[in-house]
Structure 1
Amino acid sequence: MLNVRKSQDRGVASFGWLRSQHTFSFGHYFDPAHMGVGPLRVINEDRVAPGRGFDPHSHQNMEIISYVLDGALEHKDSMGNGSVLRYGDVQRMSAGTGVTHSEYNGSKTEPVHFLQIWVIPSEAGGAPGYEEKHFDAADKRGKLRLIASRDGREGSVSLRQDAAIYATILDGADAVSHPLPPGRQAYVQVARGSVTVNGCALQAGDAVQVTDEAVVGLSAAKDAEVLLFDLPL
């Protein structure tokens, strides 16, 4: 079964310096029909103006993943971490018992475009943690590259949840597939371009929840970059 979430139906927050599109309920946007999928709680597509950003704020009991699409995302946190993330970088921050962080556009001239993803951990508490890794475009082109997993396998960042996130870049005749065993579901988010998922045509910003299917197939893409979430039901 496919449950499509079109880009134009997402919640929108616009503050001049920030334009954010919310796949699921977040902040002032609330829709009881879109509260997340399994432990996947947030996918925000954020565009931040040069030199602006999110002042220090706190989180608890959440796995927070940043996936940079364009520009420079500057991060600082109460654990002492500080870095500037660029395209291909994936950051995971485990909020655990509590962490404070800030996120700013690291450029004074160019906007930054990124996806912020929240996954509910399997257990509350624990010490906060931080990790970041770089995934070259070549590693994602024409294949599903694991970028986050419970055990950090295959060079992915680790998550405190039985979930996996894959990234892929597809174009033309490229096609990839991912099996869905019983008890699992998938959520496919199109970051850019267009792609067909199990026969359903999607554009940039669109997403689809896939349940009761043995396989998730991605094909007929045009300049597409896609995230695939493998999640418990």
Structure 2
Amino acid sequence: MNSAASAGLYHAPRTDVSQNQGKFRIHLNFPGRNHPDHEDHGYGPLATVVESFMDPDTLISMHPHQNEEIISWVPAGVMRHDDRQGNELVTDSEHLMVMNAGSGFWHEERTLADDPPLRMLQIFVRPHSLDLQPGIQHGAIDDPVANEWRHLFGPEGSDAPFYVRNDVNFYDARLEEGASVALPEIDGWDAYFYVSEGAVEANGVAFDRTESGLVVGDEDPTITAREESVLVAFLVDPDAPVTRQGTIGR
């Protein structure tokens, strides 16, 4: 059950919303559901954070997306992408992919028989407007620095290397056991974090692997790794204008 760990900090266990298609499996995390009084499953422009698994030799055949921004974060392994624009892209721990689906974008995903099993996050952001120009961003990211946040995407015009078309910033961090970091912050924005690996503590509350926290208002938790950990964090403007017609991230 989701709970208020302290005023403004809301804890959620591993999601029980999942789909099993055999060689392709997903667990859907809904940031808005961390808060017991929040009516929307998303939280402002952050719609859904999906933990996705693909076995070796798996194909997700060509399919469309519309009116959502889809970010593929791959901490290990490889995700292979083809699309109708002729792109053949490999996303791994050294690369990030942002699909700005806009008015429509067709793509497929696959792993090869000799690829390792894939576990990644696919992040769905609600754009500020419908039927924007579709496109894709893909490229190398800076090497991580232990115990520091790495800024990976932000709104258009931010200093992040990739952009989405709404007010969401995304960071990851690799923490050594016992290390502490403060969450990134922007005045008036809230934060959502997800423990991809390991276990952490925030303001005295334990968060284990695949659990998440929503930080609302003036709460300013410090996150301490109880063991070697990998986590991601989002800063979200809860009052940003959003659309709700995405193929998946509604």
Q: Using a 3 Å threshold, how does the CA distance of structure 1 residues 204 and 33 change in structure 2: closer, same or farther?
A: farther
Specify the code of the residue in structure 2 equivalent to 1:150.
P
Picking from 2, 9, 16, the partner of 2:9 is 2
Counterparts of 1:70 and 1:181, CA distance in 2? 29
Give 1:108 shift. Answer: 3.4
TM-score (norm 2): 0.82
Higher RCO, 1 or 2 (CA under 8 Å, sep at least 6)?
2
Counterparts of 1:45 and 1:33, CA distance in 2? 22
State the Cα deviation string for residues 79-108 of structure 1 (Å, max 9, x = none).
Answer: 322111112321101001111011111443
> Within 5 A, what are the aligned runs for 1:1-233?
1-7=8-14, 9-24=15-30, 35-137=41-143, 139-151=144-156, 153-233=158-238
Task: Point out the structure with the larger strand share.
Answer: 1
Conserved? CA contact 1:11–1:24, under 8 Å: no
Question: Which stretch has the larger CA shift, 193-202 or 62-71?
Answer: 193-202
Counterparts of 1:218 and 1:18, CA distance in 2? 32
SS in 2 for 1:143: coil
SS in 1 for 2:176: strand
Counterparts of 1:183 and 1:110, CA distance in 2? 41
Q: Using a 3 Å threshold, how does the CA distance of structure 1 residues 110 and 79 change in structure 2: closer, same or farther?
A: same
TM-score (norm 1): 0.88
Counterparts of 2:234 and 2:138, CA distance in 1? 18
Give 1:155 shift. Answer: 4.8
Work out the percentage of aligned pairs sharing the same amino acid.
27
Give 1:33 shift. Answer: 6.0
Structure 2: gaps spanning 5 or more residues: 1-7, 32-37, 239-250
Give 1:181 shift. Answer: 4.5
Instruction: Give RMSD over aligned pairs.
Output: 2.1
Structure 1: gaps spanning 5 or more residues: 26-31
Conserved? CA contact 2:9–2:219, under 8 Å: no
